[in-house]
Structure 1
Amino acid sequence: MRRIIVLLFVSVVSLIDVVLTTVFYCQGRKFHQTFKGAFFRYSFTSSVFDLWILCVLRCSVSLGLVLGILLGREIGINRVKSTRTISVFLAGICVMFTLIKLLSVSEHSQLLNNVWFWSLFTWTLVSSVLLVLQWRILGNITVVEPPVLKINCDGDPAESEALLGDKKEENKLEKDKDKKKSDAKSTILRLFSFSKPDWMFISAGFLFLTLSATGEIFIPFYTGKVVDGIVIDKSQKEFTKAIIVMALISVGSAITAGLRGGCMFMANRRLNLRIRNALFSSIVNQEVGFFDTVQTGDITSRLTSDTTTMSDTLGLNVNIFLRSLIKALGVLFFMFKLSWRLTVVTFIGLPCMLAVSKIYGKYYKKLSEEVQDSLASANNVAEEACSTMRTVRSFANEKGEIQRYADKLAVTYKLNKKQALMYSGFVWSNMLFELALTVSVLYYGGHLVIDGALTGGTLISFILYQIQLGDCVDSMGYVYTGLMQAAGASEKVFEYIDRKPQINHQGNLAPDDIQGHIEFKDVCFSYPSRPDVPVLKNISFTVNPGEVIALVGPSGGGKTSCVNLLEYFYTPQSGQVLLDNMSIQLYDHHYLHKQVSLVGQEPVLYARSIEENIRYGLHENEWSDKLIKEAAEMANAHSFITELKDGYKTQTGEKGVQMSGGQKQRIAIARALLRKPRVLLLDEATSALDAESEYLVQQALYKSLSGRTVIIIAHRLSTVERADRIIVIDKGEVIEQGTHKQLLGLKGIYTNLVKRQLLLSDNAWSKDGPNSPGKESGQLTVPQECSCYRRHRSSNRHPSGRISSRHASGNSVLSEEDGTGRENVTFIVGSI
């Protein structure tokens, strides 16, 4: 029904167009006499019969579109929709022809005094615009097709389904395209809304801009006065007066232009900072899973280049647009005042220039988005290489990284070449149109001067105004492309700003005291970056307050994932993680991470002093120099810190690069202990320490664990054997639980892990191997006291001359005599 109404509406408008044009052409009477012999008596300068023919052509196009839609249905509508640009082109031709007709008719003043002529002229311009609207209305018709049968004529339902799927996909792409256009417009409007707090600077800048542009408008006018005073009036008083006025206007324009620039610059800088703060605030508040899927280089690219492009392009283009618009309005006023005929000549070339700007802007926006994406990709490579320079150097892959970065920049360079070609074509076409327009004005203006309709000074003023108008139109054309560039850069920025974190730290539970009871109840979990890979499968275990629990198992079994869930970095797909019988989601974000502290295997230090790293995240009333020192002593870090030149003020470098691995771990342990947490999570927290430092740190930790719940993830036997309970996790499931001795008695996974670590045990180095006769197959002989805290060391000589020395810290040492009295020593680091 709606389609029929639209088609009827377009047909009625076309009919009205024919009727009104005919009435105006015939001057409301004697229709048959007016058309009789009109073709044979036709004269371009005195007849308006061609305007009636133009109307017939317009209506034929409209009715042809209606007929095509009736016959072709959806195909016809899609063709109309895809050829909207042609309607603008046809309307532009109609407008240009009508203006040219007005100039030719103006040579006969009797027609200009005829109201019917002006009615026909005005209606022709209006109907040309209506042609574009009719075309767009027809292209927006939605056709409701009858349901497609599941079974086609050949009895194959799959083919019918495929056809239906293709149509749905086409409709989806079309909708996405339209949505993208509307999003670009809304993005620009939103950019303007970000500038609302700067309304004082913008208002002042707009005032000074108006004064400056108005002053510049009068310069060509008084230039013509100077020429007339010298050439025509030959009066020194007249041209001197004109020069003085020009000088005063120029000085005033210069002053106001400077003030305008300062105000707009301040508004632009404030906008840039506001966008950066909004973007960084949104990024920092995203869940940890967001950073698992988005590369750091992409984020830094949005924070740097994209935000700068947004604010600078917006500020610059708004400034240019307002100044150009004000100047263009003033210039048009003076141009009409000086000569309306020359103004009409100028208007004839405007549709061509606007069409070029629109086409160029549309393509340039697409290129701008591709350039921003390619730069973000290149930044990812650079950021990754710079942040892992030690790995790059250790594998001697400097050339490889350089080549990767060069390849990414090569893609950007190809896009830049396209931009350069588009820019060159845009400038070339604009300059050609301007040249043609200038030649036309000069030729027609010279004709008017010869006829006495203009003075020489007036023609010079008009030409100067025309040059200014051309500059204004060019500037506004650049504004459009610039705004499209800003829209392309800001889409991703606003996408990040608008993104809602999937994990909201909205909890407000903050009890005065917390016991530290932890419970995992049927927890299933997969990482957001790998949703199809289950990491934890219905895992359940309990940690009592003050208990020391060790999580062990093969790598990738899910141990660190348990810690990540307890830190509320992620949320499980099902099940609950409870702290004191309350879901961790209910706790206040700051309270939770003060009560639960984590020391990771690769702790991160910031490019600050050691003291600042230890007290990171704490308010001034939550730390003191004494407390920092005590925490460092408990972490066995105070001794090496005091040996440094600047002590606690020593800078650690970016990501702690100036510290060794063991020093970073001890600083991180001190950072965790300073908070006096009720729950302490140690994820391979001493893996980078030597045996002596590990022994001292562990002694200090166990002294400070009174009343704390501790979860330890470690591979070293020395780290886990003193735990109150050991939980073995493999493939996301709890396999075994118990003390060290209990688990050894089970002869299960834990026993095998210990066996691998103590590879050089007596049984391992027996002459006939572990499965030799007289011994139970798979039996493991473990010393009764296997503790690094007793610093136990047992040695056995193998018949081959090798000496097996096992440190209870979990590191095995194999020394071999080579018959020369020297020992070749090989260190084997075992793990469980």
Structure 2
Amino acid sequence: MLRVEGMILYRRLLTYIKPHWFYALVMVIATGACSATNAFYMSKFKDIINEGFVEKDMGEINMTLVIIFLTTIFRGVMFFISNYTMRRVSSDIVLHLRQDMFAKLQRLPARYFDRVSTGKTLSKFNYDVLQVVDTATDAVIVLVREGVLAVVLLVYLFYLNWQLTLLIFALVPMISLLVKMISKRLRKLAERIQGSMGEMNHILDENVKGHKIVKVYAGHAREIERFAYTTRQIRHSSIKSEIVSSTSAPVMELLITVVICFIIWIMAKEAQQGFLTPGDFVLYIMMVGFLPNTIKRLMRVNEVIQRGLAACHSIFDFLDEKTEQGYSARQSAAKLPAFAGELNFQHVEFGYDEEPILSDFNLCIRAGETVALVGASGSGKSSLASLIPRFYDIRSGRITLDGMNIADMDLAVLRKQIAFVNQDIVLFDDSVTHNIAYGQADAEIDMQRVKRAARLAHAEDFILALESGYETFIGESGQRLSGGQKQRLAIARAIYKESPIIILDEATSALDSESEHKVQMALDELMHDRTAIVIAHRLSTVQNADRIVVLEQGKIVEQGRHRELIAKQGRYYHLNHSLS
């Protein structure tokens, strides 16, 4: 039923059941026991017919009815245990899969997020995980339930008449060929559906985040058409999958029914000649009649398995993504000297894929110095800033922090020395306190330090004006705050970290004069006595910088203080007007 690749995926998936083997074993036993009672019921009906209608023994009938009653109670208990353990195992698989995936997400390099859309990543956590769980639990339940029933039925049928039962096995080659063809087609359709689900989530994510742009630029018609096209693709593939799945079952049923009809005709002739008791005849017919539905349900579970294996492929590809290299528990735990914050770029080569961004780049930034990076879009400013915390690794050359090559440093140690304030302010749907002290456990948070950071960032006034002060939840992405308040809260977070290096990608959004003034004062506090690398968009920041570095196509074309560069009337002189 499954190809070699499918078996490998399935075995890997079953490793998530291993920690819960006891519940999984109970689930299988209870399901098998519950299924076996179906055949047991049939055998008891044979006794009722033979004892009640042929020998007319009421004592035997009464005993048989008591046994059927007790069997029904037993079946109910087994059914409950089977369903409870299945839900427990499936919930545990969902829990551990999502936890493993989220832990993986935290260690993925920036290049992954450049390559894969948010929607497709979210689809793996939502849609794909549920498909996988169906394969690991629901499919196993059906396989055990119907598989046990099929085996018990065949054993009984062989016992009653092995010659006729052999005719049923003539169908096996045809069934195997049909299953192989259907499995291949269903897997392809499932992979197509998962790809479309990822695209749908991507469109949803874009439209939720960009709803204002869609409204202002009247893009709703285009977005509706994009979404409709993707959902039509999902619908088309889903219908195709259902057609393939639904066609296979009737074909299989027809093949089995033809053979069964022939068997019944032969058995009826034998019964007329007295070779079979009425009970044996009825039992054989009942069991043979059960086989088509049992096999049909086994066929239907193949669709679930193929969907799940396609989802397994997607999830395990995600879990096998290369993570950031450079985490060392030994170095993280070691007592390292305090860093001053001197940065040195030496013959650095860097680019995205084949596109070169920095070529033979050299720059030394002294500890405590504020360096403003200016240049046209695409000149390499953001790329340069991203290399310091090693969001990306360089192709050649070296970058040192206080003389230590950052490529040899533990990433956790390196990033502990850096505070980052991005142009697109990232705040979390949590309290003000947890946003300022982000990254620290509750027990480690120093409220005095939080309040000091808020004061220095000129954020204390608006924080205290909130209904619950520092414990106020600020909403998704800080939606309850104004633009200036968000910026000051992000600056407070950077101040709280007390890192020797600040990377600041200044926000380009316009603020009112009062907010602008407060943000500028907060920035001054943030950069005081720290090494600051600023991707500058404000003239005031550039003017106050210790040094301005002008970039063009990944190379330094000018550097110096504001007045010096203005006097030169070079590249900076012309760029200066765009900052004014």
Partners of 2:252 and 2:508 in 1: CA distance: 69
SS at match of 2:544: coil
Residue 301 of structure 1: how far off its partner (Å): 0.6
Distance 1:327 1:373 in 2: 37
> SS of the residue aligned with 2:398?
strand
Give the AA of the match of 1:418: K
Residue 680 (structure 1) aligned with residue 505 (structure 2): no
Shift of 1:328: 2.3
Partners of 1:274 and 1:352 in 2: CA distance:
40
Where do 1:287-686 residues align within 5 Å?
A: 287-501=109-323, 503-506=325-328, 508=331, 511-527=336-352, 531-620=353-442, 622-685=444-507
Determine if the alignment matches structure 1 residue 831 to structure 2 residue 579. yes
CA deviation profile, 1:537-566 (whole Å, cap 9, x unmatched): 221111111112111122221111111111
Q: Distance in 1 between matches of 2:266 and 2:525?
A: 100
Amino acid at match of 1:526: G
Shift of 1:363: 1.6
1:216–1:253 Cα contact (<8 Å) kept: no
Alpha-carbon distance in 2 for matches of 1:238, 1:182 = 52
- Larger deviation: 381-390 or 640-649? 640-649
Which AA in structure 2 matches 1:488? Answer: A
Cα pair 2:436 2:492 within 8 Å, conserved:
yes
The change in CA–CA distance for 1:354 and 1:614 in structure 2 (over 3 A counts) is: same
Secondary structure, counterpart of 1:721 in structure 2: helix
Q: Is the 8 A contact 1:525 1:535 kept in 2?
A: yes
Change (3 A) 1:685 1:380: closer
Do 1:634 and 1:697's aligned partners in 2 also have CA atoms closer than 8 Å?
no
- Cα distance change, pair 584–544 in 1 and its aligned pair in 2 (3 A): same
* Greater mean alpha carbon deviation, residues 644-653 or residues 359-368: 644-653
CA contact (8 A) 2:326 2:409 kept: no
Q: Structure 1 counterpart of 2:87, which letter?
A: F
Q: Distance in 2 between matches of 1:685 and 1:669?
A: 12
User: Contact 1:346–1:466 (CA<8 Å) still a contact in 2?
Assistant: no
**CA-CA distance at 1:513 after TM superposition:** 0.8
Give structure 2 stretches of 5+ with no counterpart: none
Which residue of structure 2 aligns with residue 788 of structure 1? none
- The DSSP-based 3-state class of the residue aligned with 2:355 is coil
Q: C-alpha distance in 2, partners of 1:683/1:587? A: 24
- 3-state SS of paired residue (1:652): coil
For CA contacts below 8 A with separation 6 or more, give which structure has more relative contact order: 2
> Mean alpha-carbon deviation: is it higher for 738-747 or for 586-595?
586-595
**1:253 pairs with 2:253:** no
Q: Contact 1:310–1:490 at 8 Å: present in 2 too?
A: yes
Deviations 1:650-702 (A, max 9, x none): 33222222322221111100110011111112211585444433334433443
Equivalent residues in 2 for 1:195-210, closer than 5 Å:
195-210=17-32
Letter in 2 for 1:682: L
Separation in 2, partners of 1:359, 1:242: 46
CA distance in 2, matches of 1:293, 1:688: 31
Shift of 1:480: 3.3
Contact (CA 8 Å) 1:662, 1:688: kept in 2 or not? no
Alpha-carbon distance in 1 for matches of 2:127, 2:326: 29
Q: Does 1:244 align with 2:69?
A: no
Matches of residues 76-91 of structure 1 in structure 2 within 5 Å?
none
**In 2, Cα distance between the equivalents of 1:382 and 1:485?**
23
Please tell me whether the aligned partners of residues 362 and 481 of structure 1 are also in contact (alpha carbons under 8 angstroms): no
- Contact 1:272 1:307 (C-alpha < 8 Å) held by counterparts: yes
CA separation of 1:239 and 1:309: change in aligned 2, threshold 3 A: same
Cα contact 1:505–1:585 (8 A) shared by 2: no
Provide the rounded CA distance (Å) in 2 between the counterparts of 1:687 and 1:352: 68
Listed one character per residue, the Cα deviations across residues 399-427 of structure 1 (whole Å, up to 9, x for unaligned) are: 22121111101111111221222123112
Rounded Cα–Cα distance in structure 2 between residues aligned with 1:454 and 1:353: 30
Letter in 1 for 2:564: Q
Letter in 1 for 2:359: K
User: Over alpha carbons, which structure has the higher Rg?
Assistant: 1
Pairing 1:228–2:50 present: yes
Which amino acid letter does the alignment assign opposite residue 679 of structure 1? Answer: I
Matched positions, count? 577
Q: Which amino acid aligns with 2:48?
A: V
Is the partner of 1:197 in helix, strand or coil?
helix
Aligned-partner SS, 1:381: helix
Instruction: Name which of 242, 258, 264 aligns with 2:86.
Output: 264
Q: What's the CA shift string for 1:367-406, capped at 9, x where partnerless?
A: 1111111221222111211122122122121222121111
Amino acid at match of 1:723: A
Q: Is the 8 A contact 1:216 1:249 kept in 2?
A: no
CA contact (8 A) 1:686 1:694 kept: no
CA–CA distance in structure 1, aligned partners of residues 492 and 562 of structure 2: 28
TM-score normalised by structure 1 residue count: 0.66
Contact 2:134 2:304 (8 Å CA) reproduced? no
Give ranges in structure 1 of 5+ residues lacking alignment. 1-84, 86-179, 758-829
Question: Contact 1:636/1:696 (CA < 8 Å) preserved in 2?
Answer: yes
Q: Is 1:211 the counterpart of 2:36 in the alignment?
A: no
Aligned position for 1:748: 570
Separation in structure 2 between the aligned mates of residue 376 and residue 685 of structure 1, nearest angstrom? 31
Cα 1:204–1:679 change in 2 (3 A) is same
SS in 1 for 2:533: strand
The answer for the alignment partner of 2:545 in structure 1 is: 723
For each residue in 1:315-353, what CA deviation from the matched residue of structure 2 results, as whole angstroms up to 9, or x when unmatched?
Answer: 111112122222222222221222223322333344434
- Does the 8 A contact of 1:361 with 1:480 survive in 2? yes
The one-letter code sitting in structure 1 at the alignment partner of 2:337 is: D
In 2, distance between residues paired with 1:199 and 1:609?
Answer: 41
Q: Are the counterparts in 2 of residues 558 and 731 from structure 1 also a CA contact under 8 Å?
A: yes
TM-score by length of structure 2 reads 0.94
Q: Is the 8 A contact 1:601 1:686 kept in 2?
A: yes
Q: Are 1:353 and 1:433, in contact at CA under 8 Å, matched by a contact in 2? A: no
Per-residue deviation, 1:621: 5.4
Q: Aligned-pair distance for 1:648?
A: 2.4
One-letter code aligned to 1:728: V
Counterpart CA distance in 2 for 1:333 and 1:431 is 21
Distance 1:283 1:302 in 2: 11
> Are positions 1:709 and 2:531 aligned together?
yes
CA shift for structure 1 position 475: 2.9
1:45 alignment partner in structure 2 = none
Paired letter, 2:368: G
SS class of match (2:356)? coil
User: What SS does the corresponding residue of 2:104 show, helix, strand or coil?
Assistant: helix
Identity of aligned residues (%): 29
In 1, Cα distance between equivalents of 2:145 and 2:347: 66
